[in-house]
Amino acid sequence: MRVHLITPAPSRARGGNWTTAARWASILRGLGHRVRVTRDYHGEPADLMVALHAWRSADAIARFANEHPSRPLVVALTGTDAYRFIHSHPVPTLRSMQLAHVLVGLHDLIDEVVPPEHRGKLRVIHQSAPPGLPRRPAKRSFRVCVAGHLREEKDPLRPAYAVRDLSPSSRLRVEHFGAAHTLDWTEAAQAETAANPRYRWYGDVPHHRLRQAFARAHFLVLPSRMEGGANVIGEAIMADLPVIASRIHGSVGLLGEDYPGLYPVGDTQALRNLLLAVEAEPDLRERLRETCRGLRPLFDVERERRNWAELLHQITP
């Protein structure tokens, strides 16, 4: 079957959308399909479309649906779809949902934001990740890793603010990996690195470098204001790296409502207290570690492959 996969991310970008698209393309090819990945659709031959992002891919979705109304159309909902554009740009976003034969969500609470008339189309497919590198946690510091681009939705400097002016007895250090989306974010991260000895921004790095950082870190912090089900959570858990995250739908939908490593969005003091607690309390560290280990089956590569195989079997002749 010819599958046209649409992603708004530039080719080879090191962001979540391109990572997801590349992994899905690999899975679909492994299932025996021919997959073309582009940023738009202009009538190319296709038996099925999988479109990542209801709003940003709205034009491609509409063109495919108009030209091939009976052919299966799968639309994957991102965090900005579910938590921003469904409100700020409702017409194209809801039109994409209406045209889709199947909506794919990436976390277990996504149904709460999908309009009731479209929930019957919804399927949750958790994003998988391969096993991490052998663990070699740093010994001279208690290392916290942040893996995310610098833009407003990510609240990227919150971990840096949380470790400002700590007591000299603390060994907390924050290492941040991710590209800045604007010059203002570049300057802010550079200024924080210069002023805050516990924070360092490394910019955009290859994925193998991030895997090495995970192996050396003690925790991952995901401070986002919105996520559709961040792949980095699965990557950290499969690397045996416990997670601390802001209490948002996209993270709670992966980690669970009672996960002990959640803090209120944007609350610097709460994050600071939680980081100091995990540094000081071995029992809390172990509780977080064991909880994350229990979540590993969610992010298994074979499980994601099987979910896609079942979905395609259901919607194609």
pLDDT, one tens digit per residue, over 270-296 is: 999 999 999 999 999 999 999 999 999
Q: Is the pLDDT of residue 15 over 70?
A: no
Nearest alpha-carbon partner for 52 in 17, 85, 22: 17
Residue 316's pLDDT is 86
d(CA 93, CA 53): 9
SS3 114: coil
Using CB atoms within 10 Å of the CB of residue 79, give its burial: 0 to 12 exposed, 13 to 18 middle, 19+ buried. buried
The domains of the chain, with CATH numbers, are 2-128+300-315 (3.40.50.2000), 142-298 (3.40.50.2000)
- Kindly state the average pLDDT of the residues 61-67: 97
Q: Could you read off the pLDDT of 142-183 as tens digits, one per residue?
A: 999 999 999 999 999 999 999 999 999 999 999 999 999 999
d(CA 106, CA 122): 10
DSSP calls for the chain: -EEEEE-SSPTT--SHHHHHHHHHHHHHHHTT-EEEEESS-SS---SEEEEE-TTTTHHHHHHHHHH-TTS-EEEE--HHIIIIIHHHSHHHHHHHHHH-SEEEESSTTGGGTS-GGGGGGEEE-PPP----PPP---SSSEEEEEES-BSGGG-TTHHHHHTTT--TT--EEEEEE--BSSHHHHHHHHHHHHH-TTEEE--S--HHHHHHHHHH-SEEEE--S--SS-HHHHHHHHTT--EEEE--HHHHHHH-TT-TTEE-TT-HHHHHHHHHHHHH-HHHHHHHHHHHHHTGGGG-HHHHHHHHHHHHHHH--
122 has which bridge partners?
103
Residue 65's pLDDT is 97
- Kindly state the average pLDDT of the residues 184-191: 98
**Mean pLDDT of all residues in the chain?**
95
Lowest mean pLDDT among 6-10, 63-67, 163-167, 210-214: 6-10
Q: Is the pLDDT of residue 7 over 80?
A: yes
Residue 129's pLDDT is 96
Nearest alpha-carbon partner for 161 in 104, 199, 218, 217: 199
Nearest alpha-carbon partner for 226 in 250, 245, 243: 250
d(CA 114, CA 98): 11
d(CA 213, CA 220): 10
Q: Could you read off the pLDDT of 87-138 as tens digits, one per residue?
A: 999 999 999 999 999 999 999 999 999 999 999 999 999 999 999 999 999 9
User: Where is 160: in which H helix or E strand?
Assistant: helix 158-162
- Kindly state the average pLDDT of the residues 1-7: 96
Give the amino acid at 159: P
Q: Is the pLDDT of residue 14 over 70?
A: no
Position with higher pLDDT, 317 vs 85? 85
Residue 171's pLDDT is 98
pTM of model > 0.85: yes
143 has which bridge partners?
173
Q: Is the pLDDT of residue 12 over 90?
A: no
Residue 16's pLDDT is 66
Residue 37's pLDDT is 95
